[in-house]
Structure 1
């Protein structure tokens, strides 16, 4: 059983003497949130009470009480001589340590994950793909390179967006995260430094940790990415930089063409390959009518940029299809790497993806219209109910990145379930205990659900402040 050191756990928990309640309760909630969102995997041995108390600068009685409450709530186990370890109670199908939506209890509104439902057209596209399956069933079904029709359409989409691309530059994967996994394995070995924007996509941090790479967080909220990332590349000799130029997750920041060109040229000067995640690239909610060129269009050399993307945000999370765009030689190496682990992507999903790309403008029109209306509705609700919160309204993507003005995020995530909310604490998007004053709120739900979510969020904020009325059980099942 692996353990976590007292210093590291104290860093993740933050200041438990912040005055929002008894220190033991704050510590209990912090550890529960860490276990729940995967930063502290189930089975991890917790530090000795005395050592953790010293790091947190609290009494040992505080830690003893917190560990006891964790055990009584099913969040920890203990055995004489073996210490105390973290548990994930009543997971109901969740996989410990994975940043992905699990089954949601009836009545709970999931604000932790930005995973929209499928557009209306998806069922028709699936039926079309099924009709085309007969032609594939006559063969063996194996194709490590992916279906030629799908690779051609992905390449054509890049070309239409301004980055001329051939089908031999495309690798078909089992989703965008799978694509990132393959690219990291190709570019970085154990101990190699990889730059990541700070904050960033939580699963990217998990993946780098699993690969043994050394993520180097680079703050980009107040320092332009085209300056901060190249500076870090020069200082660290990083092999790669994982970044999102289109409506960055979670901040929503978008880089224009000039910024993209400067960023990529400066990274290339330091031999740092840009791994560009385009998962949100099709979710442009602005009315400008002119999208920025893909980062690949600004590269001076083919191998300066590797682009990853997928169908989960524009189409549906259940369609586990992604892709990589790279130089021809690197793409061939990535296909060989993929074939050793997967042999071939699933045929039916690829056929569905073909239909999605053929109908992508119809899908975008539906998706963007709904997201724009929901974003504006969420902004109006937050303005009315939580006017002290600050955020920049993004021109695309799926969420607001809210500055609450106080380190409430972990505490809100802890009390959220009793108000019918699933919340992602801000630190899940960064390293250490950063961003506990931030909360990402997706605008993927219909307007009535967002209205109710903000009301529940207000009650959760009051609960943390110690002035909340009891939750109304009659309203707990309003939203499924």
Structure 2
């Protein structure tokens, strides 16, 4: 059974006490509850003993006992004599989505409805399907028709690619986990951005690796000096970066930084992985006279991860890894320990989608542009004290709240019918309480409904919150 130490839990809790004037035990219980709901404390994780947590937080054991009792009463802890307490999720919250909890709106995911051509592609794929039924159905690499289409797509973006340089995976998360399992081991160091995609953190940590972070901000992008220091000092075996419309800040690396990152990784001898799941969601397109930066692998040795989840639909579980042939072969050898291949029918659907992918992207960009414009305008009007950055692409806005209350706000929003991930969900060890990721991939009606819930939740936090400043935005 996994466990969380008192020290690790204290780091996740961060400045939980300063954000509320309520009784300490209820504030502590609320924050631990959010950590469980957000997945930062996984289901079944053994919690630290009351005495240990009290000592770590500098509080009385009575306070910890009362907080644990409240969590047990709510169904978030299961305590057994002699075995301690383990994290649980109440039955009504097992699937926190609109379909599972009547009336709730789920903004925890930056995702879109299926593109309009998906159903037609599925019909065509079904017609092709019988031709593949004579084989085993276990496909570790990917169908030639799909790998050929993906190779052509990379080539059209300025990165010449052969089908043999591609492996088709069950989505991008599967690709990240497979790469982590192949290149990392217990005690290895891995460079990650902070904030970043939380499920990538989880995949890397499952290998036993230590995470070395590099800050990314909505104003300045990557901390270039820190990036260089981490490559030189941490001796990384692996670096996971999102150079295009970074999740959640929306920033994009310029060509000079891409070239520098590749050079740093090459000197360090580490596997450089670029997550391109949002790379082609450039809502506004390049500036007049400018071009989109080439894929990072065009500048030197790098592994690319991509998927159709953000551009087509999350339910089409098709991702890929682009790498040199020897790396692909290494991944083929490692893959059976985790799975035995990508579903054939999904691959055929993806191949048909890629046949007219520019039209799919044009439709998705139009939808996201409208969603972005609606959300940004509404946020600036309804929450003038928040800092709402300009966003050129991707799926979400990384809004500055001006106070370390993101977790409180997420809990209050839940009480008002909105499920939304608190800022620390995207950081390592409890950072980013001053930020909230708000997707703009939903309809105007859903967005307005979410903002109504946020407005009520924000008002419930009370007055006297400090205003945002550039200094505060830079130091978290």
TM-score by length of 1: 0.91
1:276 to 271, 274, 277: 274
Per-residue deviation, 1:37: 1.5
Other structure's SS at 2:113 match: coil
Q: In the alignment, what sits opposite 2:88? A: 87
In structure 1, how many angstroms separate the alpha carbons of the residues matched to 2:302 and 2:98? 33
Answer yes or no: is the 8 Å Cα contact 1:412–1:423 preserved in 2: no
Answer yes or no: is the 8 Å Cα contact 1:93–1:102 preserved in 2: no
Other structure's SS at 1:250 match: coil
Per-residue deviation, 1:166: 0.4
Distance 1:125 1:20, change over 3 A: farther
Verify: 1:53 aligned to 2:49, yes or no: no
1:239 to 213, 237, 245: 237
Other structure's SS at 1:237 match: coil
The 5-angstrom pairing of residues 40-189 of structure 1 reads 40-90=41-91, 94=95, 104-189=100-185
Q: In the alignment, what sits opposite 1:38? A: 39
Q: In the alignment, what sits opposite 1:442? A: 439
Per-residue deviation, 1:38: 1.6
CA deviation vs aligned residue, 1:403-455 (integer Å, no higher than 9, x gap):
10111111122222210110111111111121011110001110121112111
CA deviation vs aligned residue, 1:85-126 (integer Å, no higher than 9, x gap):
3211116654xxxxx979542321212111211112211111
Q: In the alignment, what sits opposite 1:471? A: none
Q: In the alignment, what sits opposite 2:204? A: 208
1:359 to 356, 361, 382: 356
Per-residue deviation, 1:369: 0.1
Per-residue deviation, 1:202: 0.2
In structure 2, how many angstroms separate the alpha carbons of the residues matched to 1:138 and 1:84? 51
Answer yes or no: is the 8 Å Cα contact 1:225–1:263 preserved in 2: no
Per-residue deviation, 1:460: 0.8
Answer yes or no: is the 8 Å Cα contact 1:229–1:267 preserved in 2: no
Distance 1:160 1:226, change over 3 A: farther
In structure 1, how many angstroms separate the alpha carbons of the residues matched to 2:97 and 2:313? 13
Per-residue deviation, 1:225: 4.8
Q: In the alignment, what sits opposite 2:419? A: 422
Per-residue deviation, 1:258: 2.0
Distance 1:366 1:106, change over 3 A: farther
In structure 1, how many angstroms separate the alpha carbons of the residues matched to 2:74 and 2:52? 23
Per-residue deviation, 1:2: 4.2
In structure 2, how many angstroms separate the alpha carbons of the residues matched to 1:263 and 1:207? 22
In structure 2, how many angstroms separate the alpha carbons of the residues matched to 1:20 and 1:79? 32
Other structure's SS at 2:274 match: strand
Q: In the alignment, what sits opposite 1:477? A: none
Per-residue deviation, 1:68: 1.5
In structure 1, how many angstroms separate the alpha carbons of the residues matched to 2:252 and 2:442? 23
In structure 2, how many angstroms separate the alpha carbons of the residues matched to 1:226 and 1:240? 18
Per-residue deviation, 1:311: 0.9
Distance 1:422 1:200, change over 3 A: same
Higher deviation after alignment, 133-142 or 232-241? 133-142
Answer yes or no: is the 8 Å Cα contact 2:380–2:388 preserved in 1: no
In structure 2, how many angstroms separate the alpha carbons of the residues matched to 1:358 and 1:127? 14
Count of residues paired in the alignment: 458
Q: In the alignment, what sits opposite 1:323? A: 320
Per-residue deviation, 1:52: 2.0
In structure 1, how many angstroms separate the alpha carbons of the residues matched to 2:206 and 2:29? 27
Per-residue deviation, 1:75: 0.9
Where do 5+ consecutive residues of structure 2 fail to align? Answer: 465-476
1:387 to 381, 384, 387: 384
Q: In the alignment, what sits opposite 2:371? A: 374
In structure 1, how many angstroms separate the alpha carbons of the residues matched to 2:377 and 2:447? 10
Answer yes or no: is the 8 Å Cα contact 1:226–1:260 preserved in 2: no
Other structure's SS at 2:91 match: coil
In structure 2, how many angstroms separate the alpha carbons of the residues matched to 1:71 and 1:449? 33
Distance 1:338 1:82, change over 3 A: closer
Other structure's SS at 2:461 match: helix
Answer yes or no: is the 8 Å Cα contact 2:14–2:431 preserved in 1: no
Answer yes or no: is the 8 Å Cα contact 1:185–1:211 preserved in 2: yes
Q: In the alignment, what sits opposite 2:455? A: 458
TM-score by length of 2: 0.91
In structure 2, how many angstroms separate the alpha carbons of the residues matched to 1:15 and 1:363? 44
Per-residue deviation, 1:32: 0.3
Other structure's SS at 1:352 match: helix
In structure 2, how many angstroms separate the alpha carbons of the residues matched to 1:9 and 1:458? 30
Q: In the alignment, what sits opposite 2:9? A: 9
Per-residue deviation, 1:6: 1.9
Higher deviation after alignment, 313-322 or 125-134? 125-134
Where do 5+ consecutive residues of structure 1 fail to align? Answer: 95-99, 468-480
Per-residue deviation, 1:55: 2.4
In structure 2, how many angstroms separate the alpha carbons of the residues matched to 1:357 and 1:91? 39
User: CA RMSD for the aligned pairs?
Assistant: 2.0
